[in-house]
């Protein structure tokens, strides 16, 4: 994944295949943002809007580049006719509601791209934010169900993670059951909380960690799970570790501490370095790439443009189990890490199906999975 360092922006874009990066500033509205379009070879780029405080603008750029590339790989392996994009917005407190003026300015910036980037919900964002953007631009997903959208994609993301876990357990033990398996969920926010419920229902022995005590209290009250201190989350002995907070947690310092057999979670960009995948393999820890395990969210919002149907979204997301098995089998057969195998499979599809293509406004490639778009219009006149 891209590391900014001393490289120029265009050098990084060329090296990692990014098509477009847009820097946005609107002083009266208080908006500072970066929108990155990685690939539109398979269709319009789709990716979340992340509200987060970045110490430096270069950190925001690096996040946008990494996340948009991961979204391309995610969409490709999920079988979608989408590319990868991402918007990151400088915002000091993700829990503080965004002013209407800021969201309107961001909506205009998205609209200027003419559909090359489809916005969605990500860390710090809410369905209300998506609704506000949709009043300015049609190129938004994850809007409220009352407006014809799919709402919060997090529950379907969590469902997909469970499917990926089944495939991982199948690889480890020869049977795809989570009953009796020890699973530690790190981060019980939008995705982690519903994931806990699904795991408990599947018979797993669940424990949790989170830096936010109120989130932990809510999950414990509902499911009665065990709690571990957030600073010791990676030391918990378990079958499956499920990172569901921010990425970059698996690196030189943390991988030696792991006491799990597999890592399968929803957090984006969990590997903190290029060598982390090899380090996990050396410790005999099975790693399911995050862009494979967390594809339920993008599958869910892609359904929105063809007339959203929750049952159909879940049916498609259930295929994550088969996709994960395919990745793990390819890794085993080729003698490479699952990360390498997944990246190669995703890039092969982009190269073969999207060879020489680049989506432009009005292009027929705006059709999602072969069906016409149905909700590309603002939610209010």
The whole-number pLDDT of residue 3 equals 55
CB 280 within 8 A of CB 250: yes
Residues whose CB is less than 8 angstroms from the CB of residue 362 and which lie 6 or more positions away in sequence, other chains included: none
Per-residue pLDDT of the chain (381 residues; tens, 9 = 90+): 455 554 688 888 888 889 999 999 999 999 999 999 999 999 899 999 999 999 998 899 999 999 999 999 999 999 998 999 999 999 988 778 999 999 999 999 999 999 899 999 888 888 899 999 999 998 998 888 877 778 788 999 999 999 999 999 999 999 999 999 999 999 999 899 999 999 999 999 999 999 999 999 999 999 999 999 999 999 999 999 999 987 889 999 999 999 999 999 999 889 998 899 999 999 999 999 999 999 999 999 888 877 788 999 999 999 999 999 999 999 999 999 999 999 999 999 999 998 778 877 755 444 444 444 444 333 332
- Residue 186 sits at φ, ψ, to 5 deg, of -100, 105
Q: Which fold has domain 9-144?
A: Rossmann fold (3.40.50)
Residue 304 CA to residue 141 CA, distance in Å, equals 7
The whole-number pLDDT of residue 87 equals 97
Place of tokens 């065990």: 226
Q: Is 46 helix (H, G, I), strand (E, B) or coil?
A: strand
The whole-number pLDDT of residue 207 equals 98
Answer yes or no: 86 catalytic: yes
Phi-psi region of 151 (alpha: psi -120 to 50; beta: other; left: phi over 0): left
The whole-number pLDDT of residue 379 equals 34
CA-closest candidate to residue 345, choices 266, 289, 261, 303: 289
Domain with CATH 3.40.50.720 in the chain: 154-342
Residue 369 CA to residue 95 CA, distance in Å, equals 35
The whole-number pLDDT of residue 371 equals 45
CB 325 within 8 A of CB 171: yes
DSSP state of 90: E
Instruction: Report the helix count and the strand count for the chain, using DSSP H and E.
Output: 13, 11
pTM of the model: 0.86
Q: Which fold has domain 154-342?
A: Rossmann fold (3.40.50)
Question: What is the CB neighbour count within 10 angstroms for residue 93?
Answer: 10
CA-closest candidate to residue 78, choices 360, 352, 327, 305: 327
CB 247 within 8 A of CB 269: yes
CA-closest candidate to residue 374, choices 307, 299, 303, 298: 307
Question: Catalytic one among 18, 50, 86, 184?
Answer: 86
Domain with CATH 3.40.50.10860 in the chain: 9-144
């Amino acid at each position: 994944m891209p590391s900014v360092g001393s490289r120029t922006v265009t050098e990084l874009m060329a090296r990692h295949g990014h098509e477009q990066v847009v820097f946005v500033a609107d002083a009266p509205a208080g908006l500072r943002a970066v929108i990155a379009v990685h690939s539109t070879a398979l269709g319009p780029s789709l990716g979340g809007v992340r509200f987060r405080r970045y110490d430096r603008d270069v950190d925001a750029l690096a996040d946008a580049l990494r996340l948009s590339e991961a979204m391309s790989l995610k969409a490709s392996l999920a079988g979608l006719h989408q590319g990868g994009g991402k918007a990151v917005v400088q915002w000091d407190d993700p829990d503080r509601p965004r002013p209407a003026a800021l969201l309107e300015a961001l909506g205009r910036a998205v609209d200027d791209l003419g559909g090359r980037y489809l916005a969605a919900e990500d860390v710090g964002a809410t369905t209300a934010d998506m609704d506000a953007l949709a009043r300015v631009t049609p190129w938004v997903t994850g809007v409220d169900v009352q407006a014809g959208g799919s709402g919060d994609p997090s529950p379907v993301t969590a469902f997909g993670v469970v499917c990926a876990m089944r495939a991982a357990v199948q690889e480890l033990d020869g049977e795809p059951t989570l009953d009796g398996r020890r699973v530690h969920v790190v981060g019980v926010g939008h995705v982690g909380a519903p994931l806990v419920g699904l795991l408990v229902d599947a018979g797993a022995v669940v424990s949790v960690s989170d830096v936010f005590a109120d989130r932990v209290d809510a999950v414990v009250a509902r499911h009665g799970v065990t709690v571990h201190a957030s600073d010791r989350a990676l030391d918990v002995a378990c079958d499956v570790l499920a990172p569901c907070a921010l990425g970059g947690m698996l690196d030189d310092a943390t991988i030696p501490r792991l006491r799990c057999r597999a890592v399968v979670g929803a957090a984006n960009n969990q590997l903190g370095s290029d060598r982390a995948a090899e380090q996990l393999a050396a410790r005999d820890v099975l790693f399911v790439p995050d862009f494979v395990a967390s594809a339920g969210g993008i599958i869910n919002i892609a359904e929105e443009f063809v007339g959203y149907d929750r049952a159909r979204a879940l049916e498609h997301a259930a295929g994550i189990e088969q996709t994960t098995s395919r990745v793990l089998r390819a890794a085993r057969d080729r003698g490479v890490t699952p990360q390498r195998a997944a990246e190669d499979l995703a890039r092969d599809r982009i190269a073969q199906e999207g060879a020489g293509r680049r989506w432009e406004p009005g292009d027929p490639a705006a059709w999602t999975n072969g069906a016409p778009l149905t909700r590309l219009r603002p939610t209010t006149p």
